[in-house]
Structure 1
Amino acid sequence: MPSISRSSDANKAFWAFAALGPFAIYGIILALLGIPFIQKQALYAHNVHTLWWNDVEEPEKWGFAKNQVTPFSLPVPDGETLYCWHILPLSVYMQHEDTLAKSSRVPLDKYTSSEAFKLLKDDPDARLILSFHGNAGHIAQNTRAPQFRMLTDSAYNWHVISLDYRGFGHSTGSPSEEGLITDASALVDFAITTLGIPPSRILLLGQSLGTAVSSAVAEKFSREKGIDFAGVVLIASFSSLPTMLANYSLGGVVPLLKPLGVCPPVLRFFLGFVVDKWKSLDRLAALTAQTRERGGRLRLSLVHAVDDRDIPCLESVKIFEAVARASLENGGNIDEATFMEMKDERMDVRGDKAFKITWNEKDIVITHEQFGYGGHNDIMVYAPVPQAIMASFGTDMASTSSPV
């Protein structure tokens, strides 16, 4: 009898664990994600990279011509040092191939003495794309290097400078919202002051996490200095980190916080532990309102793939509706039905769930393209991205020094 009793108790314990175990594991995961250090590792994933076996110091391994890429270091006011790439447009490279291919690469801290620096600084027709990548990896990982090649292989005079944020790749420090905004601001300041490129020839390009960085920097320079860039192009953007997490599923399959949605107070409680908020919707709406109030110029493009399994395309819809309203004098007073009618009038349907909206208000042009394919990363090398850049710079940019 004792053995039967022990067997029965074991069975009960097994079935109790089978029933309650997943909930316990889920609770432990949520508790761990509430710890700032672990949360930072999960959000930025800056330690997940291929530098253990890939060398970004040899850009030719990533498909670039000899010395088409100039790596350099950028000091940040708070003491960190960022690792950057300057990728020359292939058309410019071809004109100076003999000199570039035969020259020795300058040390990281001597970029201003490089041939690439001079070619960009001394060209009044050059356009500069400042590229801000998503989380995880390094400056050339995943589709980043192919995107750089796509942008610089065009017939247009597009230079690209990208950076690894603090804590990413070869950059020093540890990532945070404030830190990444400081990093991006330092790069913009460097482009304007040291390179001497006017903001009208600079475009901010962000993907995923990089959209939040680009949005924050664009709003900051608008608010503090009244600066308008040639364009802001955001690929796979999100309204805010807490809002996105409320409906986020890992790989589009495993829900993270969705189960808590059945009890909103509990969901709000857990979202309250999110340290870095990244409120892009609020920042972009403020940027749009600031531009409208001072009679400035804004070219804002949102690109999102329908099949993005990481960040739902609904996130870009939320942003578009907020910035479109902010572009109107009475945007806050228009009822939902009237606004949706205005939106539908500007919508060009291009397939199942695919569309493009162009919203014009004076010198504010907001485009939102929801593309049928491309997922979260491959969309970076799909046609909507260079199209958005062309529209921001102006199609006649090859023959003029100012965007339309």
Structure 2
Amino acid sequence: MSPLKTDASKAYWAFAALGPVALYGIIIGLLGVPFFQRQALYAHKINTLWWNDVKVPEKWGFAKNQVTPFTLPTADGVTLYLWHILPLGTYVQHEAALSRAEPSALHNHASSEAFKLLTEDPEARLIISFHGNAGHVAQNTRAPQYRLLSNMHPKWHVIAIDYRGYGHSTGTPTEEGLITDASTLVDYALSVLNMPPSRILLLGQSLGTAVAAATAEKYSREKDMDFASVVLVASFSSLPTMLANYSLAGFVPLLKPLGAIPSVLNGVLGFVVDKWRSLDRLAALATQTRERDGRLRLTLLAAADDWDIPCVESVKIFDAVARASLQHGHEMDPGRFLEWKDERTDVRDQDAFKITWQGDGDIVIVHEQFAYGGHNDIMVYAPLAQAVMAAFES
């Protein structure tokens, strides 16, 4: 073989070996830029609006005018797009009028029949749903989830929000922005819908768990406010912590290779702009509630076969919040804490269990791991329905 061919062969194999490394470096470098990072985190441009317009809810199996689309303005100039889903039992009672009603203007929810059926019923309950990343208000398992919840009880209404940048909502998503969006909706429920917090349940899935956790902590800290319940499905302790061990589809590691050099991994994680520290916020929520003798009902749900967010993330959150719910919880010996957990754990299968934890005062934390459901299907499985029933029927 000629020296020229030998050199070419070496160059080829060198490129073949270094090419993936270089590509990986480029990807990591791009993710360090806030714009690209937020595009990847929120994935708000990935949706099916081109062929499935959410302005026609009947496409997702709802009755005529069972869903009322409406908009809300935020204090910083964003317009949010939302759905108000009537409970099917209430819809059936008023079907003749509702099916013939003309749709109200998007900006005038108060003129709709659905608004009146919610605000004029002293026994009505409201589920505020915060969805995960990507898609729009009805994408993936979201519409089936709303149908499940609205079919459960004739008094249980659902309002689902598309955060800024999602679906027909304007703006661009950021951590501060999404918390503003959630606060805008909660303020609307409290002041315009006249719903007391004791009749409002905050429900979050995936990214939505971080939004719901931030919202519950904010209203506890600023207004001493307790909601009927906070139900979080597929939650994560914080974005940097989760990313350190995250694998795409459960198989392709993102930052795990950098774990071999901790200083490099920590340096990369330092560039994460939206931290979403749910563990810290929920622990603070438990502490605030305990110190002011308030009421907290928190449910953490996770599927053992979730390939997107490992169920160990919910374990981390539960441990931190359970300790914070006790006056001397942080001083408790780790071995003794595990004994307390074991005493309160109902093991249901190899990968399934349910823990019911009573903190000091009126604090109850439930952590349920279900064997099945993955990242999205769990939203239409029995544990979610049971959590909502437990919250409202208690």
The equivalences for 1:153-164 within 5 A come to 153-164=151-162
Deviations 1:286-316 (A, max 9, x none): 0000000001000000000000000000000
Q: 1:173, 1:149 → 2: CA distance?
A: 28
Q: Please, what TM-score do these two structures have when normalized by structure 1? A: 0.96
Q: 1:10, 1:311 → 2: CA distance?
A: 44
Deviations 1:226-283 (A, max 9, x none): 0000000000000000000000000000000011111111110000010000000000
The 3 A distance-change label for structure 1 pair 365 and 87 is same
2:177 aligned residue (163, 176, 179):
179
**Of 353-362 and 85-94, the range deviating more from structure 2:** 353-362
1:321 aligned residue (288, 299, 319):
319
Q: Which stretches in structure 2 are left out of the alignment for 5+ residues?
A: none
1:80 aligned residue (78, 81, 85):
78
Q: 1:62, 1:19 → 2: CA distance?
A: 48
Deviations 1:303-339 (A, max 9, x none): 0000000000000000000000000010110010000
Deviations 1:108-155 (A, max 9, x none): 011111000000000000010000000000000000000000000113
Q: Please, what TM-score do these two structures have when normalized by structure 2? A: 0.99
Give the Å deviation of 1:22.
Answer: 1.4
Match of 2:246 in 1: 248
Q: 1:159, 1:344 → 2: CA distance?
A: 36
Amino acid at match of 1:288: A
Q: 2:336, 2:277 → 1: CA distance?
A: 26
2:117 aligned residue (115, 119, 134):
119
Amino acid at match of 2:317: I
Deviations 1:74-112 (A, max 9, x none): 111111000000000000001100000011111101111
The equivalences for 1:143-154 within 5 A come to 143-154=141-152
The equivalences for 1:126-141 within 5 A come to 126-141=124-139
Q: Is 1:338 the equivalent of 2:331? A: no
- Do the aligned partners of 2:88 and 2:154 also contact (CA within 8 Å) in 1? no
Match of 2:391 in 1: 392
SS of 1:233's partner is: strand
SS of 2:152's partner is: coil
The equivalences for 1:31-46 within 5 A come to 31-46=29-44
Q: 2:197, 2:93 → 1: CA distance?
A: 26
1:271 aligned residue (263, 269, 280):
269
Amino acid at match of 1:236: A
Q: 2:38, 2:8 → 1: CA distance?
A: 40
Amino acid at match of 1:262: A
Amino acid at match of 2:31: L
Q: 1:173, 1:9 → 2: CA distance?
A: 54
Q: 2:281, 2:378 → 1: CA distance?
A: 24
SS of 1:287's partner is: helix
Match of 1:292 in 2: 290
Match of 1:375 in 2: 374
Match of 2:58 in 1: 60
Q: 1:66, 1:169 → 2: CA distance?
A: 21
Give the Å deviation of 1:156.
Answer: 4.6
Match of 1:400 in 2: none
- Do the aligned partners of 2:90 and 2:154 also contact (CA within 8 Å) in 1? no
Deviations 1:163-217 (A, max 9, x none): 1000000000000000000000000000000000000000000000000000000
Amino acid at match of 1:54: N
Q: 2:155, 2:307 → 1: CA distance?
A: 34
Q: Is 1:228 the equivalent of 2:226? A: yes
Query: What CA RMSD, in Å, does the superposition of the two structures yield over aligned residues?
Result: 0.8
Q: 2:201, 2:212 → 1: CA distance?
A: 10
Give the Å deviation of 1:7.
Answer: 1.3
Amino acid at match of 1:368: H
Q: Which stretches in structure 1 are left out of the alignment for 5+ residues?
A: 395-403
Give the Å deviation of 1:6.
Answer: 2.1
SS of 1:270's partner is: helix
Q: 1:300, 1:392 → 2: CA distance?
A: 9
Q: What is the aligned length? A: 393
Q: 1:365, 1:161 → 2: CA distance?
A: 25
SS of 2:123's partner is: coil
Give the Å deviation of 1:353.
Answer: 2.0
SS of 1:391's partner is: helix
SS of 1:74's partner is: strand
Structure 1 stretches of 4+ moved >3 Å: none
2:163 aligned residue (162, 165, 181):
165
Q: 1:164, 1:85 → 2: CA distance?
A: 9
- Do the aligned partners of 2:141 and 2:376 also contact (CA within 8 Å) in 1? yes
Match of 1:357 in 2: 355
Match of 2:191 in 1: 193
